[in-house]
Structure 1
């Protein structure tokens, strides 16, 4: 026990914390890309796809539009699930995380703007652009996260990760507020959703592009390229390193236990992100403006939750703090299932926001605490793999259950609640102190 405590106490000496400007530039990427999540995946475009683009097919077979939406999200995440660990290993091999982050950001911005060209009935075009933008967004998430072990001592990863998530939610708020202002103006002059939603996508792309500039100006690439011979195929190198990474499961058991746990509870989080607006529109009867205001409130609660959770995680430990957050998720799910009033759903939204900010920030920070510093890109590739698997399992299960039940969203919601319950049970099997100590040991090949 004393040896473990000594190793844990020495972890903060592993690296020097990056300068404040660089920390803010790292966190500001969360501010930049959060508009994509809130507008495209969560609020405006998800409801627009189901209610306008795919409305005709839904009228013939209830639940089909929601299933198509979740299938597109699942397809994008399946591609990232396959490519994420390989790209992470390649990023470590060539020390090009920042370059790959820039490429993914540019693709996401362009694809988001092009979503404005898909009108009612143009389902294939809308799904293709959605898949492309979601792939680029998720890849960018992997790359920005892999910088965390390089810029923050392990003992401060919780609060620094929390800063990023908290700032990200405010970025989502800014984008939503800009879209709400435009929608209100357009609605007053008689425009319909088919008129104003495309403009909100352009607004979202523009804010993403502008807000990401500090990241590319000031975030440093500290890694150095491999000094060995240039490989014939970086894909083979990536696959080889992924195989090696998986072979370390016995040396890093708590890291891999947590990756399984994260996959389960994140399946519930991923479902809420892409279904919340659809549920509020189809079940609770919210209008476009009400949807945006609801998600703004959720984002504000999430920003506070992420900020406070970062300190709680560093003070009380990641496992107890995450367990508390999952209990809040369970309470929010039960309330959403039981309520039939708008007030009840607003209350559930506040709980969802607080819990979302906590689990998103906490999961990333705990992976950072368990990850060997010299293999950050590789192991954060696995973190991305877990998140992408969750983004396939959760939304697709919701879509299938919703379709089989002829569009009954309340029944589908029960599957989402189950993910949080199982995730909580698995979380209690993870030993944080052992996980942190294991990362300090040299990996055997």
Structure 2
């Protein structure tokens, strides 16, 4: 069976080149997540900029929480405005440019520059989050329902490969700098410039070849102020109970995912005693496993369904957390990191595909705005809860990690009540009543 990138266009849907161009945005922006949030700048901020210790962990999680809170407020408004005017790319272009500039500016942050470092993380991560929402909203406009799972998985797979390539280039630069006697404050700024440049070039295919496919304009009820828009979108989601339940479910288990993404490298260095090279190597393995997990379960996804696929990954996440909690030597922690990667790619890919599958035609931007709300609430609650637990327990990082497993347990319970077939029927009914047609 051909991959999404190999299939010919049908009935006005996207063809090979356009799907690859769409996926290249995942390739482009994954360097930001991998190097800035997961592998390099987070550990640099905690250890060098903020001086280490529970307070430094808390400040890092606060900066992330502020950025996600901004996306939480702005994201639904941007998505619904894009629905109304039928154009996603101008908004995507603006958020991309802001993220690239903010990332390059992180190169100016040195030891003790707490305010500057936190401010630039808030700016760049807010822009990243808006772009993530917008590129996801293209998905149901590119391919029909029966291709959503594999196409989403293709994007995630390409994305993790992009993060891997960016990290490899940064690793080569770090080792070169260390060979010249450079310390973290010497080579981390250079890695930020590398990420920004690679993001800019890799995103170009998306803006050149991906076409706008405007859905029917959202009904008049959406033409309100941003806060009313968010409330209206959630009211509409309540007419789609399976979508609404899954958005809540996703928001909860993403608390765990976001915690691991934001703090894995810091945990490896501060708790397991990994060197910078070992940490970057570990993140390389995580990205490879994530690409493989997204690709493999993307194939399984369209056969067994998104709900079962997400359920499998949540069980895997629980196993990974327990492995990391009990790890006292590097081998066990490496095994946990590999399992985290495999589950990360698959859970994110299947989650995005299920939201696309259950979102009514013509309202994708609005409902992916709510998807962004769920993800950003998780990005606030998860890492911040870890930071607070670590702070008030005087640095009990292992206990804080074990508490993270609770997010995946609750996610499994809520997932059990999501019915994929019923959700698609409600989706089509909603689209017909709103004048959007059945997708």
Number of the residue aligned with 1:7: none
Q: How far off is 1:95 after superposition? A: 1.8
The reply to whether residue 127 of structure 1 matches residue 118 of structure 2 is: yes
Number of the residue aligned with 1:112: 103
- Tell me the SS of whatever aligns to 2:110: coil
After superposition, where does 1:43-54 map in structure 2 within 5 Å? 43-54=39-50
The reply to whether residue 344 of structure 1 matches residue 344 of structure 2 is: no
Q: How far off is 1:17 after superposition? A: 3.0
Number of the residue aligned with 1:327: 315
Number of the residue aligned with 2:210: 219
- Inter-partner Cα distance in structure 2 for 1:26 and 1:249: 26
Number of the residue aligned with 1:37: 33
Deviations 1:110-137 (A, max 9, x none): 0000001011001000000000000000
CA RMSD of superposed structures (Å): 1.9
TM-score (norm 2): 0.94
- Cα gap change, 1:404/1:217 in structure 2, threshold over 3 Å: closer, same or farther? same
Number of the residue aligned with 1:203: 194
Number of the residue aligned with 1:81: 72
- Tell me the SS of whatever aligns to 1:220: coil
Number of the residue aligned with 1:4: none
Number of the residue aligned with 2:246: 258
Deviations 1:55-109 (A, max 9, x none): 1xx4xxx300000000000000011011111111111112221110010000000
After superposition, where does 1:218-367 map in structure 2 within 5 Å? 218-223=209-214, 226=217, 236-367=224-355
Contact 2:215–2:362 (8 Å) recurs in 1: no
Unpaired runs of at least 5, structure 2: 1-8, 435-439
- Inter-partner Cα distance in structure 1 for 2:367 and 2:165: 32
TM-score (norm 1): 0.92
- Cα gap change, 1:248/1:195 in structure 2, threshold over 3 Å: closer, same or farther? same
- Inter-partner Cα distance in structure 2 for 1:198 and 1:102: 25
Q: How far off is 1:237 after superposition? A: 4.7
Query: For 1:69, which of 60, 73, 80 is the aligned residue?
Result: 60
Number of the residue aligned with 2:145: 154
Query: For 1:163, which of 131, 142, 154 is the aligned residue?
Result: 154
- Inter-partner Cα distance in structure 2 for 1:225 and 1:217: 24
- Inter-partner Cα distance in structure 1 for 2:163 and 2:335: 20
Number of the residue aligned with 1:377: 365
After superposition, where does 1:386-401 map in structure 2 within 5 Å? 386-401=374-389
The reply to whether residue 23 of structure 1 matches residue 14 of structure 2 is: no
Number of the residue aligned with 1:9: none
Query: For 2:167, which of 162, 176, 195 is the aligned residue?
Result: 176
Deviations 1:401-445 (A, max 9, x none): 010111121011022111111111111111111011111113557
- Inter-partner Cα distance in structure 2 for 1:227 and 1:301: 40
Contact 2:252–2:408 (8 Å) recurs in 1: yes
- Inter-partner Cα distance in structure 1 for 2:186 and 2:279: 17
Deviations 1:33-55 (A, max 9, x none): 00000000000000000110001
Deviations 1:249-289 (A, max 9, x none): 44200000000000000010000000000000000111111
- Inter-partner Cα distance in structure 2 for 1:162 and 1:310: 5
Q: How far off is 1:160 after superposition? A: 0.2
- Tell me the SS of whatever aligns to 2:362: helix
- Inter-partner Cα distance in structure 2 for 1:240 and 1:219: 31
- Inter-partner Cα distance in structure 1 for 2:111 and 2:65: 22
- Cα gap change, 1:19/1:416 in structure 2, threshold over 3 Å: closer, same or farther? same
Unpaired runs of at least 5, structure 1: 1-12
Contact 1:89–1:381 (8 Å) recurs in 2: yes
Deviations 1:318-373 (A, max 9, x none): 11111111100000000000010001100001100000001010100000000001
Contact 2:237–2:367 (8 Å) recurs in 1: no
